A and B are shown apart, each in its own frame.
Chain A
Amino acid sequence: MGIIRGQRSTTRLASLWRAYGTELVLLGAIGGVLILFSRFAPGMLTSNNLVTILRQMSFIAIAALGTTFIIISGRIDLSIGSTITVASTTMALLVTRHGVPSGVALVLPLLIGMTVGMANGFLTTKARVTPVIATLGMLVALDGAAKLIVGGETINGLPKVVTYLGSSKLGPVPVSVFVMLLVWFGVEFTLRKTSFGRYCYHIGSNEQAALLNGIAVDRYVTWFFMVAGALSGLAALILVGRLRSANVNIGVGLELQAIAVVVIGGGSLFGGKGTATGTVLAVALMAVINSGMRLSSINVYWQTAVTGALIVVAVSIDAMRRRRDRS
């Protein structure tokens, strides 16, 4: 006779809610914001604008999808922005001034990102530096490195092959949106259906237990950082493509947005929670809000404040939810 203590209801509806609740709320919020702004902002709901929103979303969504792994595993990565900066400026410089072939240049940002990820992974696992400090240090180091590489210059004249991903279209839809969809699908699939993804959740939920189940935690965490780095590189490629140039201001402040978006999308900073879809929907929500604010001529600096406020709210909800679960 097993006594079931405090059993939550497991009706179909309830388990659906637990699995998809955040995503549904976000969808609703997106719809709501769209409708709200359509009253005040001219041209909000035009297909042109929606395509623009999608295109602007794509690069941060890709970076955030990488961050999703890190946050699910219970860590944090504050160096995403600077990784993008270094990846884009290095690649741009090498392609335009040092005759590196475009084919190689396409792969370069991803390689740079992966290297940064590997360094982050090493610092947090073998050197036992807490992820906050390790990636914060990396942020500064990379930022400085980028400034050393290009100074205040903006590098232009990038070959079409390199800018393809960011600025071309396939029919009415920008290529970058396709890339985003691909990455979204890839990450979602990995998280749900592969052992790599499953281990990510396990490590984030209860690292000690994961160890006891024979999971090589250190190795996987390093992989997570490398994936996040690689995806940052990809995002850099797209961004450079769209701007058709690269400079040191490119990735500024991105890490906060990426973290915000993962958390708003259902991720928990304590680890063990988060989904690819939630992340992407959260990016969409922010993009829609930004678009709406811009079109209704609201001071664009409110965005920064709003992002910060949103992340604080999301994390507060997460903290309170966690306390409730524990007690």
Chain B
Amino acid sequence: METAPLLEALRIVKNYPGVLALDKVEFSLERGEIHALLGENGAGKSTLVKILTGAEQPDEGEVLIDGDVVDISTPRKAQENGVAVIHQDVSLGLVPQLSVGENIFLGREPKCWPARIDWVALYSQAEEFLQRLKFNPEFLREPVGSLSLGEQQVVAVAKALSLNAQIFIMDEPTASLNSHETEVLFNTMRALSGDGVGIVYISHRLEEVLSCAHRVTVLRDGRMVGTVAVGTGVGPEEERTVAAQQSQIVRMMVGHDLAEKHPRSQPTPGPPALGLETVSGAGGRFSDVTMTVHEGETVGIYGITGCGSRELARSLFGLEPIQSGEVTILGESKSIRSPRDAISAGIAFISDDRSRDGLIGGRSVRENITAPILKSLTALGVIRSQQEVAVSRKHVSDLNIRTPTIDQLVRHLSGGNQQKVVFAKWLSSQARVFLFNEPTRGIDVAAKAEIYRLINNLKSNGAAILIVSSELPEVLGVCDRVLVMRRGSIVMELDPRATETTQARVFDIASSG
């Protein structure tokens, strides 16, 4: 006798301008199952999640719950249909100053009289939910803000449970948890699945996924590559099976992407431009990093989420404190404690979040391009307009930025062109060292190619380029040298041109251990 799956997504298609995010993706979830969703950045995981939780609508396809087509066109409706989402940033839905019990029932507190909250009922029911999750109810009356992130996760889960959620979608929940908290979360998830709840678990971390999931579905470039059932037994026979499954999954994730898509020009390495000597960041996100980037070469740092590469890049631009170690720029030791220091040392920083990290959306293209060098375009404080216009126009045409005029507000440009304005800005500042943090995230395919071309241009002009990226094909295709970072340290350096440097191998190095 066949019962319908708890959740089924059929032939889901989703288009964004210029990008096919999901291409006839199929996904199913059974009752009591923990089903992991794996894939690289841009593979389509978050889009699928948004569709399942009502934040976005698919262009084609349908979603069924318990065999019936459902309308989950808004988050509210998704919630009413029993879908709950636990975000990576758990503090989104919790109120830190109120107690755990209050948070669980926030907005739906049981009442005594018309006005008085029935505390007894509230706390006893909250206790029940926590016990279902095998979580210690001693925190019931503590303010949520005093709990650790892992404990807050559990509260968020309890809250969703109290909303009669049957389908939990957990989006990278372990990203900010330590190993103990992760274990607590997994126990919670096992308790839930034992109760018949279905869990969709999205993650980067293969080993975690393998330790708790029943099935694993891999997405790549918007397509569903395959689904693998994961065994959880013990014994040598099982171990080999697990290892085999692991490599199978890795192969599915990274595929055989064409390196031709990301042409790499010949490096002409000159003297060292950026040198790090046992640099450690405050907060322990990365430690004892030693590396060099020469003029005219592109070095890539690859790692999975949380490896510390992002923090390293930010620290080199003065956005996060460096605790120890020495940084050398063009042969001189520099102390970089703020973006100003970095800019005057000749460093440029291009991040994954344009609007937050340096582009002023409400100002014009020309003002953005000249922002870091404005002082040099002034005489006695007065801006020399002609010069400014000339500089801006030159960069706009050099980089082929599509904008009606240089006075167009940057926020009206497309994503790719905005990124080009960022490039133009740094080019005008005549930086010699370029730090890229996920440079092509969220950019359509065509613009990506242009950005790689720009990077190669920079390289041939003698710039030293450091690219932090979690997109494997990009790193292997564009960089001359690849450093793999794992849990805050650089674990290996690889030559992307060597035949044994396959994507699978790099991924392996980055995630195991």
**Chain A–chain B contact at Cβ < 8 A:** yes
Binding site for B on A (CB under 8 A): 1-8, 10, 15, 193-196, 198-199, 201-202, 205-206, 208-216, 272
Among B339, B355, B402, B407, contact of A4 (Cβ-Cβ < 8 Å): B402
Smallest CB separation, B362 vs chain A (Å)? 4
Contacts of A196 in B (CB 8 A): 381
A-contacting residues, B363-393, CB 8 Å:
363, 367, 371-372, 374-375, 377-378, 381-383, 385
Apart from A2-B401, A195-B381, A213-B425, list 12 A-B contacts with CB within 8 A. Answer: A3-B414, A3-B444, A5-B412, A6-B412, A194-B378, A194-B383, A195-B375, A205-B360, A205-B363, A213-B372, A214-B344, A215-B340
Residue contacts A-B, CB under 8 angstroms, 10 given: A4-B413, A194-B381, A198-B374, A209-B356, A209-B357, A213-B372, A214-B342, A215-B340, A216-B340, A272-B363
What 1/0 flags go to B336-360 for Cβ under 8 Å of A?
Answer: 0011101110000100000111111
Cα A209 to Cα B340 with chains together (Å): 12
Contacts of A201 in B (CB 8 A): 363, 367
Smallest CB separation, A129 vs chain B (Å)? 22
Contact A202 B367 (CB under 8 A): yes
Cα A205 to Cα B367 with chains together (Å): 12
Contacts of B414 in A (CB 8 A): 2-5
Contacts of A195 in B (CB 8 A): 374-375, 377-378, 381, 383
Contacts A4-B413, A7-B412, A194-B378: A209 and B344 contacting too (C-beta < 8 A)? no
Contact B385 A2 (CB under 8 A): no
Say if the beta carbon of B233 comes within 8 Å of chain A: no
Contacts A2-B447, A212-B339: A193 and B382 contacting too (C-beta < 8 A)? yes
Contact B357 A208 (CB under 8 A): yes
Cα A5 to Cα B447 with chains together (Å): 14
Cα A194 to Cα B380 with chains together (Å): 9
Say if the beta carbon of B417 comes within 8 Å of chain A: yes
Say if the beta carbon of B182 comes within 8 Å of chain A: no
Among B340, B371, B407, contact of A15 (Cβ-Cβ < 8 Å): B407
Cα A202 to Cα B361 with chains together (Å): 10
Contacts of B359 in A (CB 8 A): 206, 209
Say if the beta carbon of B41 comes within 8 Å of chain A: no
Contact B417 A194 (CB under 8 A): no
Smallest CB separation, B128 vs chain A (Å)? 41
Smallest CB separation, B494 vs chain A (Å)? 31
Among B338, B358, B415, contact of A209 (Cβ-Cβ < 8 Å): B358
Cα A206 to Cα B362 with chains together (Å): 8
Say if the beta carbon of B32 comes within 8 Å of chain A: no
Say if the beta carbon of B236 comes within 8 Å of chain A: no
B18, closest chain A residue (CB): A3
Contacts of B378 in A (CB 8 A): 194-195
Cα A262 to Cα B344 with chains together (Å): 36
Contacts of B319 in A (CB 8 A): 212
Contact B383 A198 (CB under 8 A): yes
B401, closest chain A residue (CB): A2
Among A4, A15, A194, A213, contact of B358 (Cβ-Cβ < 8 Å): A213
Smallest CB separation, B443 vs chain A (Å)? 10
A10, closest chain B residue (CB): B404
Smallest CB separation, B374 vs chain A (Å)? 5
Contact B416 A8 (CB under 8 A): no
Say if the beta carbon of B405 comes within 8 Å of chain A: yes
Smallest CB separation, A276 vs chain B (Å)? 16
Cα A214 to Cα B18 with chains together (Å): 34
Most buried by B among A1, A6, A194, A213: A213
A11, closest chain B residue (CB): B404
Contacts of B360 in A (CB 8 A): 202, 205-206, 209-210
Contact A2 B413 (CB under 8 A): yes
Say if the beta carbon of B114 comes within 8 Å of chain A: no
Contacts of A2 in B (CB 8 A): 401-402, 413-414, 416-417, 447
Contact A4 B412 (CB under 8 A): yes
Say if the beta carbon of B17 comes within 8 Å of chain A: yes
Say if the beta carbon of B115 comes within 8 Å of chain A: no
Cα A35 to Cα B342 with chains together (Å): 58
Smallest CB separation, A6 vs chain B (Å)? 7
Contact A198 B367 (CB under 8 A): yes
Contacts of A214 in B (CB 8 A): 339-340, 342-344, 372
Smallest CB separation, B59 vs chain A (Å)? 17
Contacts of B417 in A (CB 8 A): 2, 4
Contact A205 B362 (CB under 8 A): yes
Among B340, B383, B416, contact of A193 (Cβ-Cβ < 8 Å): B383
A268, closest chain B residue (CB): B362
Contacts A198-B374, A201-B363: A211 and B381 contacting too (C-beta < 8 A)? no
Cα A7 to Cα B411 with chains together (Å): 9
Contact A212 B349 (CB under 8 A): yes
Smallest CB separation, B380 vs chain A (Å)? 9
Smallest CB separation, B399 vs chain A (Å)? 11
A18, closest chain B residue (CB): B409
Contacts of B356 in A (CB 8 A): 208-209
A192, closest chain B residue (CB): B383
Smallest CB separation, B23 vs chain A (Å)? 19
Smallest CB separation, A72 vs chain B (Å)? 12
Smallest CB separation, B324 vs chain A (Å)? 24
B343, closest chain A residue (CB): A214
A206, closest chain B residue (CB): B360
Smallest CB separation, A218 vs chain B (Å)? 11
Smallest CB separation, B160 vs chain A (Å)? 28
Contacts A202-B371, A209-B359, A210-B360: A8 and B383 contacting too (C-beta < 8 A)? no
Smallest CB separation, A270 vs chain B (Å)? 10
Among B358, B375, B377, B415, contact of A212 (Cβ-Cβ < 8 Å): B358
Cα A202 to Cα B372 with chains together (Å): 11
Most buried by A among B383, B385, B416: B383
Smallest CB separation, A18 vs chain B (Å)? 9
Cα A10 to Cα B338 with chains together (Å): 37
What 1/0 flags go to B314-341 for Cβ under 8 Å of A?
Answer: 0001010000000000000000001110
Smallest CB separation, A5 vs chain B (Å)? 5
Contact A10 B408 (CB under 8 A): yes
Smallest CB separation, B451 vs chain A (Å)? 12
Task: Report, nearest first, the 9 A-B pairs whose CB atoms are least far apart.
Answer: A214-B343, A2-B402, A212-B358, A213-B371, A214-B340, A205-B362, A206-B360, A10-B404, A2-B417
Say if the beta carbon of B446 comes within 8 Å of chain A: yes
Cα A214 to Cα B374 with chains together (Å): 10
Contacts of A8 in B (CB 8 A): 412
A7, closest chain B residue (CB): B412
What 1/0 flags go to B52-67 for Cβ under 8 Å of A?
Answer: 0000000000000000
Cα A274 to Cα B363 with chains together (Å): 13
B342, closest chain A residue (CB): A214
